[in-house]
Each structure stands twice: as structure tokens, then as C-alpha cells.
Structure 1
Amino acid sequence: MSDTHAQTVPYVRKTMVEQSPPPASEIGVVKWLRENLFSGPLNIILTLISLWVVYWVVSHVGPWLINGIWDADSLSECREIRNATMGEGTSAACFGVIGERWQQLVYGFYPKEAYWRPVVALLVFFAGLAPVLFASLPRKLLYFTMASPFLMFMLLWGGSIWGPIAVALGFGVGYAAIKLISPINGLLGTVAAIVLPILYWFLIAGPLAGAVNSVLPIGLEYIPSKDFGGFLLSSIIGVAGIFLSLPLGILLALARQSDLPIIKWCAVTFIEVIRGVPLIVWLFTASLLLNYFLPPGTNFDLMLRVIIMVTLFSAAYIAEVVRGGLAALPKGQYEGADSLGLNYWQSMQLIILPQALKISIPGIVNTFIGLFKDTTLVVFIGLFDPLGLAGAIRASTEWNGIYWELFLFIGIMFFIACFSMGRYSLYLEKKLQRDHR
């Protein structure tokens, strides 16, 4: 074979080339640092500044936390222990106030011998909420979910057991009205399902509960609302506002898109008026002005008034979030529901609302988190939420001068609750995306 012919024959490798490791700059921590923290001059400067800020915060806050004193009965005793063990002027947190007053921060003025009742109510709350949050659980547990609010009310406030039962019967009246009247006239059935329970609660529920209790008195020791406080108070107002505002907000969103002018403009007026005024103003309205519109001698519980105002305020925001989800749906979804022969409520229940609520999940949860944090505003109308109790503790002789330790504890409690809601929101979004695919 000539040299020219040998040079034109292509070379064919018969064995695999051994794999070589990638460059160190393209794998692992080095790659992440290069791409995220040191990708350019501006990022390098910002990273160095951020590292300095983190170092400064940790160097100042770290010793304060590590040197914390937990076993002390007063701020002066904390300082004595610090001076004796660490030297005068050492940075040290006085966490003795948490160990001494954590029960007050959590339960307020709730009787100590009845602390078991909020704990059991919390377990009932989680047990009732689980079937709603996790579809894998048996659907029969939803019956317990429907009963859980009345069980929690009975545990927290006490009194006669027949009161919550009589109130629960009102929902049975509304359900019976829908089943009996809606087949004849859908609009009349809907109106009856709203009006009849209200009339029952105002006119019949109280006398009925009193009559049954006089014959068969069963219940727990009654604890008035003025004894509620701390994180227990914030949780009750926040949870009640969240669960009551969601269905009300959905109804307001549907009413705002209604073709009936009266219903539409009533919803628009309500939403715009509620959203246009700060929550603190509505709380002052609930605290001071509402009694002027009630009959003389009427004793309307302040906590109940606050829950009503918080619910209405949150419902106005939820309505706009849900309306955004409804507006994001293509018109073909509505036309598809009409082509299947579904009436308005069937199309909303089966096709429109599930998709709209899926789109609205981030906005809804964001509103709920804001609502839960806004419960601290009740301190301005005389209710002792955690911040109000922190002020009362700081005003006492033993803990006069304490500051950051109380707010750190309160912030951690609120962070746990709000972070949990945010994480469940992410879980639900990912789950619905997987189900959609």
C-alpha cells in the first residue's frame, strides 16, 4: 500500500476512551460558589459585604444567645448570676423571663387547672384539619371535621354542652332547606338556606339550649373571654378568621362577577369599603362603635366582635384574590361547562372554582399569613395578645427593663405558625401540578 493511500484511510478506535473527571471548577461547591456568589465583579463585592454583615451580626448576637441565663426569677437576679459567672458587662440574654412567664405568654390569664383544655382543643383542631389538607385520608373523617369547631368551642369556653349542639342544628336547618326547596326553586332554596338558620339562631337556639340544659345539665366550667390572652388569643382569632373568611370571600368573588346588578353592586361596595379602611379602624369600630347600634343592655362579647371584623376584612381580600383566579381562566372553560348542560352552581363546583382556587393558592395563603400576623393589632383595643402581655410583663417589678428576650420568643411562635402555612402552600401547589400532569 502506498503512503498516499495509507493517509486516506480513516482511523477507527476499537476500545472506549476512559472517562476523565470534570474540572474542579465545574462540580460541587466550587461550581455553586462560582456561579452564585462570585460570577462577576458586582457579585463579588456584594458577597463580601454580605459576609461581613453576617459576621458582624453573629459576633454580636451569638455570645448574647450562648451566654443566656435560664434559671432566674428577675432581671436583677439574671445580672447577679452574669456578674458572678461571666463578669460584669458580658453580653448575656436573660431567658429566665421565658421560663418564668411562658405560660402567661401562651395562655394569657386562662386558669392553670384548665390548661389541658386548650391543648386538647389544639389536638382536635389538627385532627379535624387533617382530612381537609390531605386527600389520602378517609373521607369519612370529614364528619369529625364538621364537628370539630363545636368541640373546640366547648373545650375552650366551656359552659353547657347543649349550646354548641343547638348552634350546630342551625346548619342542619340550612341543609334541609336546600334539599327540600332547591328542587322546586333554586334561588328560593339558596335564600332559605341563609335566612332560616339565621332566624333559628336568633329566635330558637338560645331558648332550646336553655330548656334542655334545665332538664339535663351537662358541660364544663365556663371560662369568660376576658381570661383569654397570649398566643391562645391570637390563634383563636386568626384560625376563626381564616376558616370563616375563605367561604365568605369565595361568595363575594362570585357575587362581584354576577349578572344581577343588585348583588354585584352590593358585593363591590362591601369589598371596596372594607379594603379602603385600615384593619385597626375596623377593630376600633368593633370595640367602641358597635355597641351603639345594639339594643340597650346587650352584652356582645368583645372577642366575638373582633372575630367578626377580622373575618369581614380578610374576606374582602380573599374575594379579590379568588376573582383574579376566576379572571385567569380561559372563556372556553365556562363555555365547556355550559355545553355539558350544567347549571351555574354545578359548573362552579365541578369545573370553574377548582381551577380558580388552584391558581389563587399563593395569594390566598399570603392573605392568611398576613391576617394571622395582624391579630397583634388587638392590643390597641384592650385585648392581651402576646405583645400586650409582653408589655405587661416588662412593666412588672421583677422584669422591668427586659426587652429583646420576650420579642424573640413571640417572633419564634409566629414564625412557626406562618412558616407552616407557607410550607403547606408549596406542598399543595406541587401536588396539584403532579395531579394535573
Structure 2
Amino acid sequence: MIPERRAPDLRRGAVGWLRANLFNTPLNGAVTVVTAALLAWLLWPALQWAVLQADWIGNSREACSGEGACWVFISARFESIVYGFYPEAERWRVDLVFLLMAVLVAWLAIPRLPAKRWVGLFALVGFPMVAFFLLVGGSFGLEHVPTRDWGGLMLTLTIATVGIVGSLPIGVVLALGRRSKMPLVRGFCVVFIEFWRGVPLITVLFMASVMLPLFVPTQVEFDKLLRALVGIMLFWSAYMAEVVRGGLQAIPRGQEEAAKALGMGYWQRMALIVLPQALKLVIPGIVNTFIALFKDTSLVLIIGLFDLLAIIRAGLTDSDWLGFATEGYVFAALVFWVFCFSMSRYSQYIERRLHTGHRN
């Protein structure tokens, strides 16, 4: 005789999740079915156009049948979309930077990997230096590649990475300065934050491109990309400062008073007691600012920098590829969505890991 076995627990797994969330009541079940049918009715034509009837293989527009999406446009111009105008013989340097960035991100994201403190320190200090020497060249036997030849996805990631890494510490300092008891420091931080929050980013980029060179000596050559990076960092640091200030105000005053009673100085209290708690509370706001910064990198087109979206738009002006704007914009939107969604999901993982919100 076969021994008796316990009945399957339908409260777990995919079936259990569906029963608990989508079909727990007759009304919810009916709403789920109607919503699924409506989504299928709306998404089926898009699925046919984008996947089932799409053309994927080829080198010219003659390979496109015209019934669905012509992804041949993306595959034929993929290298320019990724590298921009970077010299073909030197693109291995960009690939090496991408690989190093992916390894660092994976190392910091996977919980079980060791030496995260040293890897994080290298990511903040060492990696920017290595990436600079690799991408710019001019030393260690590498050919110099001016920033006017940068473009595509590599330029988008460069602007976003520098903006994120630069705006966070500046924003933290501004938030602390705005709460300072010294009138001069507090006044400077208030004026700085309100000024940069009161102007649009397009104006900042125009000013950085046109006006900033007027304030430096004529002998100094101020690179256009560097001007854009400075403007983006200063602009988003003002928004970051307000996000961090909200976290600082959420920390009870007794935390700092207790640290002061233990004999800690100001910077010790901030670095060891107040800031870790404040930054943990405002993780959603910080990541939301990062996502907005990443999406606004497309605005550098107005000062002559060809990022991912600008390279795609430039490709659409080619007479050989006229009429495929939809495919180009959909691909650009998909790339932006992948990066922004990844940042959002990772922030949610960090929140759960740190128990943000003081949940029980």
C-alpha cells in the first residue's frame, strides 16, 4: 500500500497567490477576468506589431516587409547607438569600462560577496579615475579621444553616473548646511538650493554651455561635456538636499542629544548617528531623484551632445531609414525603462533589507 501523503497546500505558490490576491472574492474574480480580457484586447495588436510580425534580420530597409516593426533599423545602427562617434578601433576601451561597471554593480548588489566596503570605496574613487583614463586616453599609450566624439548609450551612462555620484554628497552637505546654526552657512545653502530649484534644467545647460566659459580665463579650455556635468550636478544636488533634509527632520532630536551626551563631536554625530538613519528613511526619495536625473540626460541634446536619444534621432534623418521613427523611439524608451526599473527594484530591495520605516 502506498503511504498516505499530506494534501497539497493551495495557499502557497502561484495558485495560492492568485486565490489570495485576485480571486479571493467573486467580485474581485470578475474584475480580474474583465481586466485581463481588456489588456489582452489592447496589447495583442502591439504584440503582433512588435514581435510576431516584426522583421529582425537584415542590413537595409529592403529587409523590412512593412507588416510589423522593422527592428533591422536598430540592429544596423546598434554600434552607433551604443558608442556614438567613438573610433571603432578604440571601442574596446568602452567595453572594458562597461564590464568593470557591471562587475562593481553586481558585487555591491549581491549580499553574500565579501569586502563590500573596499569595493564600494574603489567604485567611488578608483573606478572614475580608471574610466577617465580609458575613455579619454592621451596617456599610458592610449589614443586621445575628445569628448565631442562621445555619444549614444555610453554618453548617457557617463552623464548619469557622474551626476548621481556627484549630486548625492553635495546634497548631503547642503542639507546639513541648511540646518546649521551659523547664519552665514545657512543663508548660503538656502540661497543655493532655492536658486537651482527655481530654474529649469534646460536653462542651466544653456548657461553652462554659453555663460560658464566667460567666467574662466581664456587660456583655459572648458570642455562642453564637463560644463554639462557641472550644471547637472549642481542642479540635482539642490533637489537631493531637500530630500535629505526631509530625512534629517524625521530623526528625533533625542538621538543627537544622546550622542552629544556621550561626548561626540558634530561630524561624529552626523556620520555615525543621524545621517545613517536619515538616509535610510529617504531611500525612495533619493532613488526617485536618481531616476529623474537619468531621464533628464536626454536634454543635453540642446547643447550639441548626442546621447542615446539624440543618436537615434540623428539616425532617423538618414534617407535610407526614413519612416522608422516609431521603432527608434520605442527602443529608446525600452532602454530608459530597463535602467529606471532596475534602480527602482534595487531600492525596494534595500528598503526591505534595512527595514526602512521602522516596521516590526
- After TM superposition, the score normalised by the length of structure 1 is 0.73
**Paired residue secondary structure (2:282):** helix
Q: Which moved more, 1:54-63 or 1:151-160?
A: 54-63
* Alignment map for 1:395-434 (pairs within 5 Å): 395-433=317-355
Over residues 216-246 of structure 1, what are the superposed CA-to-partner deviations in whole Å (9 max), with x where a residue is unaligned?
Answer: xx33100000111111111000000000111
Q: 1:63 to 1:299 in 2, by over 3 A?
A: same
Q: CA deviation at 1:155?
A: 0.7
Change (3 A) 1:263 1:130: farther
Distance 1:340 1:126, change over 3 A: farther
Mapped to 2, the partners of 1:275 and 1:298 lie a distance apart of 29
Q: CA deviation at 1:326?
A: 0.6
Among 70, 73, 87, the residue aligned to 1:111: 87
* CA distance 1:222–1:334, shift in 2 (3 Å): same
- How far 1:56 moved relative to its partner? 2.6
- Aligned residue number for residue 43 of structure 2: 58
Q: Percent identity between the aligned chains?
A: 42
Displacement after TM superposition at 1:431 (Å): 1.5
Q: Contact (CA 8 Å) 1:121, 1:152: kept in 2 or not?
A: yes
State the distance in 1 between where 2:320 and 2:29 align.
49
2:194 to 268, 272, 277: 272
Q: Which residue of 2 aligns with 1:7?
A: none
Pairwise CA distance, 1:53: 3.5
The answer to whether the Cα contact below 8 Å between 2:313 and 2:328 also exists between their aligned partners in 1 is: no
Greater Cα offset, 258-267 or 120-129 = 120-129
Pick 1 or 2: higher relative contact order, CA cutoff 8 A, min separation 6: 2
Q: Which residue of 2 aligns with 1:180?
A: none
**Are 1:63 and 1:91, in contact at CA under 8 Å, matched by a contact in 2?**
no
Match runs of 1:216-231 below 5 Å: 218-231=140-153
| Aligned-partner residue type, residue 351 of structure 2 | E
Mapped contact 1:131–1:142 kept (Cα < 8 A): no
Q: State how far apart, in whole Å, the 2-side matches of 1:400 and 1:110 are.
A: 24
Amino acid at match of 1:158: G
The residue correspondences of 1:64-143 to structure 2 (distance < 5 A) are: 64=49, 65-75=51-61, 77-79=62-64, 82=65, 91-129=67-105, 136-138=113-115, 139-142=117-120
- State the Cα distance separating 1:142 from its structure 2 match: 4.9
Q: Measure the CA separation in 1 of the matches of 2:332 and 2:287.
A: 21
What are the residue-to-residue correspondences of 1:241-390 with 2, within 5 Å? 241-296=163-218, 298-390=220-312
| Counterpart-to-counterpart distance in 1, 2:296 and 2:193 | 19
Query: Whole-Å Cα distance in 2 between the matches of residues 129 and 159 of structure 1?
Result: 27
The 1:126/1:25 distance shift into structure 2, 3 A limit, reads closer
Deviates more, 1:317-326 or 1:123-132: 123-132
Q: Which residue of 2 aligns with 1:156?
A: 135
- Give the 3 Å change call, closer, same or farther, for CA 39–319 of structure 1 in structure 2: same
**Aligned twin of 2:3:** none
- Cα shift at 1:92: 1.3
Distance 1:58 1:364 in 2: 33
Q: In 2, distance between residues paired with 1:102 and 1:36?
A: 41
Give the superposition deviation at 1:313.
Answer: 1.2
Question: Unaligned stretches of 5+ in structure 1?
Answer: 1-19, 83-89, 161-217
Deviation at 1:276, TM superposition (A): 1.3
Q: For residues 259 and 424 of structure 1, do their structure 2 counterparts lie closer, same or farther at Cα, with a shift above 3 Å needed?
A: same
Gap change, CA 1:357 and 1:21, over 3 Å in 2? same
Q: Tell me, what secondary structure is at the counterpart of 2:192?
A: helix
* Cα distance in 2 for residues equivalent to 1:369 and 1:52: 32
2:22 to 36, 44, 53: 36
Partner of 1:211: none
Distance in 2 separating the partners of 1:324 and 1:37: 40
Residues 40/129 of structure 1: CA separation in 2 closer, same or farther (3 Å cut): closer
In 2, are the aligned partners of 1:73 and 1:398 still within 8 Å (CA)? no
Give the deviation of 1:32 after TM superposition.
3.7
Q: What is the SS of the residue equivalent to 1:398?
A: helix
- TM-score normalised by length of structure 2: 0.88
Asked if the contact 1:361/1:429 (under 8 Å) is kept, the reply is yes
Change (3 A) 1:277 1:53: farther
Change (3 A) 1:141 1:50: closer
Once residues 269 and 12 of structure 2 are traced to their aligned partners in structure 1, the CA distance between those partners, rounded to angstroms, is 53
Let me know the Cα RMSD of the aligned residues. 2.9
Check 1:281–1:219 CA distance in 2 against 1; reply closer, same or farther (3 A cut): same
User: In structure 2, do the counterparts of structure 1 residues 345 and 111 end up closer, same or farther at CA, with 3 Å as the change threshold?
Assistant: same
Q: One-letter code of the match for 1:67?
A: Q
- Aligned partners of 1:126, 1:44: CA distance in 2, in Å? 42
Once the two structures are superposed, residues 231-290 of structure 1 have per-residue CA deviations (whole angstroms, 9 ceiling, x without a partner) of: 111100000000011111100000000000010011011111111111111111112222
Q: Distance in 1 between matches of 2:95 and 2:17?
A: 49
Partner of 1:173: none
> What is the rounded CA distance, in whole Å, between the counterparts of 1:48 and 1:362 in structure 2?
33
Q: What residue ranges of structure 2 are gaps of 5+ in the alignment? A: 1-5
Distance in 2 (CA, whole Å) between partners of 1:362 and 1:257 is 22
The match for 1:208 is none
* 8 Å contact kept, 1:249–1:318: yes
Structure whose CA Rg is larger? 1
